[in-house]
Structure 1
Amino acid sequence: MAQIASLQIVQLTVTGFSCFADEHSWTFGRRTAVTGHNYQGKSTVADAIAYALTGAPYFGGRDLDRLQNGASANMRAEIAVRTEDGQTHVIRRGRHEGKTFVSLDGVLMTLERFAERFGSRDLILSLLNPLYFAEVLGGDGRKLIEQYLPAVPHEAVMEKLSEHMRGVLGDDRLEMPEVYLKEKRSELKELEKDRLVLDGQMQQTDSQRARLQKELDEKKALLAHTAAALAPLARKQEACNTSAIQTQIAELNAQYDTVSEDHAEHERVRLQAELDAAQQRQYESAGAAQLQQMQNQLQLLYSKYDDEVGRLRYLQQQGVCPTCLRRLDGAAFPEVQAAFTQRLQKIQTDGTALRQQSEALAAQETQSRLQFEAQKAAEISRLATALQTLPTGVAAQQRDSIKAKIKELSAALLLGGLTAEEAQQYQALFHEQGKLESEMEQIQKLLSSLPRGQKEALDKLDEEIRAINDKITAAKAYQSERAARLFAPVKMRRAGLKLYEPMKESGELRDVFKLTWDGRDYVRLSLSERVRCGLEVVELLSRLSGKSYPLFVDNTESLCDLGAAQHGGQMILARVVPRQTLQVKALDEPQRKAG
């Protein structure tokens, strides 16, 4: 089916359309004036022509209910057009029971077939309405013009780019730069998202490593202090001559046995032995192991509570889950925060219960120790009193002296040459040293288990992001150069196309598609300037598409003239005439004056 290159409206008939409930018909010439007072139907004529040709109002859109007369069940617009071959065709479009139909010469057509014959909706409305291209299509007008421009060879564009940019783009397919840029920006977004996650993970790892290293350094300092305090005691133990002490004890034991004994002396020996045993008897705790276990569990709960508090603080400050390191949206954040709060409450509850149990057990142990000490003191007092009541003899005095020396030497042998106070200090320091070494070993294991290579992975992501940004920069340069070459044939008189402009924040040039008039942006133009600018766009589209379609210029009372644009097709001029009913009149002679 051949495409229509030129058409002229001969007659327009509407029924149930906007302010025309009944059937109305008007005849059009090559130049036609549509005049009348406000609310007489001038804009309705424009909408009816647009609806018949495209199925949309004069300014596009889908609000067809606005076009239908409120008192009418159906709506119809019919135009008789004369094409370039001199034949007359009838286009009829309407709504019947909510369904739209379109026919050509009485034959129903699909919207796709109609567009193949007459052109797309945007093209027809851009040719009919001089304001449609700029004010409705805006930036999308680029696509409409591009489909009528000759393709720009890829090699010609690449030649204009720098060697670096050509190397960056390589063999990438750039038939559609906007699609390429969209894909690269999507890749960049994903890479930046991955970088954000990895950076969060690395920050958490660094924080954990710093905390563990700080703890390790503190433990090392404590260990050095403990070792320094333990060293002189250890040297004193090493200097102790145990063989000589053992020899002295053996000699004293032999001497002790040679001392004569009698009944009183035997009794003294027995009582003294019991007294010595009572004095050396130590309290044996039944719950010490359990109490120590409870203390260890409490320390673990304290550490776990501090760790959970730190993770919750990280969540609240960063808005990132400390477990999966994904940034949380508004719906997931309260749920994760509540989970942390619940865990903290459970740890606190468990710790309180365990502390209370520990305190109860410690109190019980204290009571048992006091009872033991009281019984021990009573036993010692009894035996000491019994000894004092025995008669004292020379043998007893000798044995007591020998026994005292043996006891002194045995204590020295047992404590390795240390005093009781030094031995107690030695045991405490030795225990503390072992505890610190064990804790340091655990910290070293935790440090070794932390993830490695995150910095290298982050650097790799940064390199990929830089490469993508380079491709985006090169593709934008390619797009700009291609657009400049593609739109080079687009020549108008005072109207122009702006393809790029600087960004306010950075001054960087960005791709745009805007109309200008004498170098000024379209948004700054007056109504008359916008119409004149639109007329030049209509002339351009007619030339590029090869179509000569009707042009409807509304509000021409605001125009002194139509500018320099030359429209070779049918022109319909609408203007307000006070206190006049609607008139549609074909003009005998073409007129350049709009008002």
Structure 2
Amino acid sequence: MSHFKLIECSGHNFKAHRDLSVKFGDLTKITGDNEEGKSSVLEIPTWTLYGTDTFGGKMDPTPTNYKYDHVLAETLLEVDGKLLKFGRGIEKGKATYYVNDVPGKASDFEEIVKSLIDKDLFLALFNPLYFFSLHWEKQRELMLRYSTPPTQKEVFAEMSRTNSDQKLKDIKLNPQAERLAELVKKHSLPQLEEIHKKNKNDKDTAHKKAQGRTETLEEQLRQLPDVLDDIEAIEAEDAELVKQIKNIHAKIELADEPKRKQAVLEGTLENVRQQIAAAKSRYMKVHGEEIAEECSTCKRPFDEAAKAAAEASKEERKKPLREEHDKLVARRKEIEAELDAVELIDVSDLWEQMRGLEQRRDVTADTIGWYNRRQSLREDLEKARADEAELLASRNDSIFILDAIKAYEAKSAELQAAKVQSMFSELNIKLFKQLKNGEVKPDFVVTRNGKTPAQFSLSESIRAGLEVRDVISQQSDWITPCFIDNKESVTRYKDPRGQLILCQVVEGPLKIETEDSSK
């Protein structure tokens, strides 16, 4: 527990006060008529420490109705038993700072003040109306800053509670709590939320594509012709037809051999006949040569011996030509004999049989092809359905986890709100709001008898501020001074923890009285 006490403060040329010194007790009563400077007394400590008024707003303490040389505000504090004196002034238009009467830099001064107590915390404890002047997010932060949130173990148990009489050790975690309890060992709840929001969105898109793929395959399968289930018999029949077709084809191949031989022989025969005609032409050319009667050069007639020699030479040249011709004729006769011996086979029946088998085989091959296509599509469809189911399961799992996180946050908010609410007797505090989609969002609303602070009367504002102030004091373990301005407007309130300063409008000059509980 930390204690912050106001011992004394003074103001020189501070607003309406030319020279003012105030000593504070456990109870300090400040009375006087309007315009006597009662509220200015309360501003001396806040301006000294923070340069602000009691609501944290910037303020100018310089007098407006008399001449002055300089402004100086000093405040003597006791913080956890240690005395500290702070001073802030204005000399020749420049700010001056003092700690224990030693002048220093603004940064050093502010660092020392900051190390004592947080500014918002002090102002909220010092001025009960300060809290309601803050934005709701700042109010919420200040209210929860010193409040310990429920532990995960506690939230998981409360999520799973089936009746109010159950002891924590007897509560069995429900599926949501059990799953989250395992997952938070590796990731924080915000991380899990980000992971599974992304996974849900990704799987949503992927699942739609997978559904489209499945529907396409199902449509393709419906468009294929029906196939008999006894595919093994069809495959056996197809194999037998292929075998028979091959056998007939082999016979046709054998039947074609005489045709090929006939064609070769006919070609060879035609070639030999052409060679015979050429050999005969060469022979007849020599055979038709005439023996000359005289020399073509000197024109002398040949004698009988010369003529006989020319005749003999001609016969010698005819002999090889005749032999060549005879050989070719003999070759022609051999080929003609071979050609005559060739026996052609009629394969028209075989071709007819093979065409019949091929027509039957077209049916079995198509059937097998459609069957294989159906099988391939079935396998693709089975995989597509498995992929679709896997994506859907992953998506649904992320939705389950996100719903579990929402349930956790709702229960945590409920427990935290209940914990904070338990500290109040007259005020109702709302820390969260639930959106239409089930999400729990931070909120902060204070009500009293159904009215919000904007609707409070001055006395209601003071009482509400005092209650908020004491809750923050208890949570933060800080005891500080607290003032009630316009005390005449409130007749009933609970005394705050720490020093109490009462400001009240009464007829007459400014008057300050102190009381100590030890006296």
- TM-score under structure 1 length normalisation: 0.46
**Which residue of the partner structure matches residue 48 of structure 2?**
52
Matched ranges for 1:348-497 at <5 A: 452-453=386-387, 455-456=389-390, 458-460=392-394, 462-463=396-397, 466-467=400-401, 469-470=403-404, 473-474=407-408, 476-477=410-411, 480-481=414-415, 484=418, 488=422, 490=423, 492=425, 495-497=426-428
Which of 80, 88, 91 is equivalent to 2:86? 91
Q: Does 1:217 align with 2:221?
A: yes
Residues 82 and 183 (structure 1 numbering): CA distance in 2 closer, same or farther, change over 3 Å? closer
Distance 1:587 1:444 in 2: 96
Distance 1:152 1:215 in 2: 54
Q: CA deviation at 1:6?
A: 2.0
Q: CA deviation at 1:220?
A: 2.0
**Residues 235-271 of structure 1: CA distance to partner in whole angstroms, max 9, x if unpaired?**
xx99x99999x99xx9xxx9xxxxxxxxxxxxxxxxx
Does the 8 Å contact 2:199/2:398 carry over to 1?
Answer: no
Q: CA deviation at 1:465?
A: 5.0
**Which residue of the partner structure matches residue 498 of structure 1?**
429
Q: Does 1:564 align with 2:496?
A: no
Distance 2:21 2:378 in 1: 96
Q: CA deviation at 1:510?
A: 8.1
Q: CA deviation at 1:534?
A: 1.0
Q: Does 1:103 align with 2:108?
A: no
Distance 2:391 2:513 in 1: 79
Q: SS in structure 1 opposite 2:481?
A: coil
Distance 1:478 1:36 in 2: 49
Partner AA of 2:400 in structure 1 = R
**Residues 168-223 of structure 1: CA distance to partner in whole angstroms, max 9, x if unpaired?**
369969xxxxx99x931431231121122123223212312322x15633662399
Distance 1:172 1:76 in 2: 61
Does the 8 Å contact 2:43/2:53 carry over to 1?
Answer: yes
Residues 171 and 87 (structure 1 numbering): CA distance in 2 closer, same or farther, change over 3 Å? closer
**Residues 513-553 of structure 1: CA distance to partner in whole angstroms, max 9, x if unpaired?**
64332464445434542233113334555677463415263
Q: SS in structure 2 opposite 1:498?
A: strand
Distance 2:347 2:95 in 1: 116
**Which residue of the partner structure matches residue 74 of structure 2?**
79
Q: CA deviation at 1:98?
A: 9.3
Q: SS in structure 2 opposite 1:80?
A: strand
Which of 207, 230, 238 is equivalent to 1:202? 207
Which of 532, 535, 559 is equivalent to 2:466? 535
Q: CA deviation at 1:585?
A: 2.3
**Residues 32-86 of structure 1: CA distance to partner in whole angstroms, max 9, x if unpaired?**
358657xx9988776654232345553337xx5x7598x9xxx976233465999
**Which residue of the partner structure matches residue 172 of structure 2?**
164
**Which residue of the partner structure matches residue 121 of structure 2?**
123
Residues 152 and 128 (structure 1 numbering): CA distance in 2 closer, same or farther, change over 3 Å? same
Does the 8 Å contact 2:4/2:479 carry over to 1?
Answer: yes
Distance 1:203 1:188 in 2: 22
Q: CA deviation at 1:462?
A: 3.3
Distance 1:152 1:526 in 2: 39
Q: SS in structure 1 opposite 2:446?
A: strand
Distance 1:209 1:503 in 2: 39
Q: SS in structure 1 opposite 2:86?
A: strand
Q: Does 1:12 align with 2:8?
A: no
Q: CA deviation at 1:140?
A: 1.8
Does the 8 Å contact 2:140/2:444 carry over to 1?
Answer: yes
**Which residue of the partner structure matches residue 387 of structure 1?**
none
Q: CA deviation at 1:155?
A: 8.0
Residues 467 and 23 (structure 1 numbering): CA distance in 2 closer, same or farther, change over 3 Å? same
Does the 8 Å contact 1:130/1:537 carry over to 2?
Answer: yes
**Which residue of the partner structure matches residue 134 of structure 1?**
132
Residues 79 and 546 (structure 1 numbering): CA distance in 2 closer, same or farther, change over 3 Å? same
Distance 1:13 1:195 in 2: 67
Residues 523 and 539 (structure 1 numbering): CA distance in 2 closer, same or farther, change over 3 Å? same
Partner AA of 2:221 in structure 1 = D
Does the 8 Å contact 1:33/1:573 carry over to 2?
Answer: yes
Q: CA deviation at 1:451?
A: 9.3
Residues 85 and 50 (structure 1 numbering): CA distance in 2 closer, same or farther, change over 3 Å? closer
Q: CA deviation at 1:88?
A: 8.2
Distance 1:5 1:205 in 2: 67
Q: SS in structure 1 opposite 2:221?
A: helix
Distance 1:526 1:458 in 2: 57
Matched ranges for 1:543-562 at <5 A: 545=477, 547-551=479-483, 553=485, 556=486, 560-561=489-490
Q: CA deviation at 1:456?
A: 3.1
Partner AA of 2:124 in structure 1 = S
Does the 8 Å contact 1:7/1:550 carry over to 2?
Answer: no
Distance 2:250 2:152 in 1: 102
Identity %, equivalent residues:
14
Q: SS in structure 2 opposite 1:534?
A: helix
Does the 8 Å contact 2:429/2:447 carry over to 1?
Answer: yes
Does the 8 Å contact 2:429/2:445 carry over to 1?
Answer: yes
Partner AA of 1:564 in structure 2 = Y
**Residues 411-436 of structure 1: CA distance to partner in whole angstroms, max 9, x if unpaired?**
998687989xxx9x99x999999998
Q: CA deviation at 1:450?
A: 5.9
**Which residue of the partner structure matches residue 29 of structure 2?**
31
Does the 8 Å contact 1:514/1:522 carry over to 2?
Answer: no
Partner AA of 2:407 in structure 1 = T
**Which residue of the partner structure matches residue 398 of structure 1?**
none
**Which residue of the partner structure matches residue 293 of structure 1?**
none
Does the 8 Å contact 1:128/1:552 carry over to 2?
Answer: no
Residues 43 and 486 (structure 1 numbering): CA distance in 2 closer, same or farther, change over 3 Å? closer
Distance 1:100 1:5 in 2: 24
Q: SS in structure 2 opposite 1:202?
A: helix
Distance 1:154 1:434 in 2: 64
Distance 1:171 1:206 in 2: 30
**Residues 152-181 of structure 1: CA distance to partner in whole angstroms, max 9, x if unpaired?**
9988996458713489369969xxxxx99x
Residues 445 and 157 (structure 1 numbering): CA distance in 2 closer, same or farther, change over 3 Å? closer
Residues 85 and 192 (structure 1 numbering): CA distance in 2 closer, same or farther, change over 3 Å? closer
Residues 185 and 478 (structure 1 numbering): CA distance in 2 closer, same or farther, change over 3 Å? same
Q: CA deviation at 1:487?
A: 6.2
Residues 49 and 188 (structure 1 numbering): CA distance in 2 closer, same or farther, change over 3 Å? same
- TM-score under structure 2 length normalisation: 0.51
Q: Which has the larger radius of gyration?
A: 2
Does the 8 Å contact 1:53/1:124 carry over to 2?
Answer: no
Residues 450 and 585 (structure 1 numbering): CA distance in 2 closer, same or farther, change over 3 Å? same
Partner AA of 2:200 in structure 1 = R
Runs (5+) with no aligned partner, structure 1: 174-178, 225-230, 255-408, 578-582, 591-595
Distance 2:78 2:511 in 1: 18
Distance 2:179 2:364 in 1: 70
**Which residue of the partner structure matches residue 525 of structure 1?**
456
Distance 1:487 1:535 in 2: 15
Partner AA of 1:193 in structure 2 = K
